[in-house]
Amino acid sequence: MITGALKVLFAAIGLVGLIGGVTIVTGAYNVAATEPHYAITISLFSAARDRAIAVRAQEMTPPSGWLERADLKNGFRSYHDMCVVCHAAPGLNDSVVRTGLNPEPPRLTEDRVRQRTDAELFWIIKHGIKMSGMPAFGPTHTDEEIWDVAAFLRRLGTMQPTGYQELLEQAAWSTQDDPSSHDHRSEDLR
């Protein structure tokens, strides 16, 4: 026999399903990137994202001494080639891509990003985040390359615009001399 509490629970589940179905069929939920999310949507997605990242990152341990062994030049080059278009950098203007993204990608100099653990940064870079525009770099990059980017992010949090500009100038001449340079830009952007 079904108790009164179970009836209420099943009715609530049915009502949520009905509302969800009507929303989908009628197209009532606007998926346009120009339309901001509701505050409750942002809160729910943020909580789910942060908890999922924390749980999965707990399953891994950064390699011993990874930060000291990291190739910061490689991390910088990868960041500038793959990440700056969405996440910006000290002293650079926002790209048109960043301006049009919703949700807006975090600036990786923000405290909330710097407060992530090393394992969380690595996990995000390697696996990406669904429905956020954050791609997974694990299928195309080695763990060592991903740790290099994570190490650069640790430096980026306190970097001044002049420091980023200096790295940009150094990378411009050094990649021309290095035939094994890991370059992600398309030919028409060079």
| CATH number reported for the structural domain that contains residue 105 in this entry | 1.10.760.10
pLDDT for position 4: 85
- Whether residue 180 lies inside any domain: the answer is no
Residues 6+ apart with CB under 8 A from 16: none
- Whether residue 22 lies inside any domain: the answer is no
Residue 5: pLDDT band with limits 50, 70, 90 = confident
Q: What is the mean pLDDT of the chain?
A: 88
- Whether residue 123 lies inside any domain: the answer is yes
Checking if the pLDDT of 186 tops 50, the result is no
The answer to whether residues 75 and 108 touch, using CB atoms and an 8 Å cutoff, is: no
Q: Which residue range forms the structural domain that includes residue 67?
A: 33-175
The pTM assigned to this predicted structure is 0.80
Cα distances (Å, whole numbers) of residue 23 to 44, 65, 147, 150 = 18, 51, 42, 40
pLDDT for position 106: 93
Q: pLDDT tens, 34-92?
A: 998 889 999 999 999 999 999 999 999 999 998 898 999 999 999 999 999 999 999 99
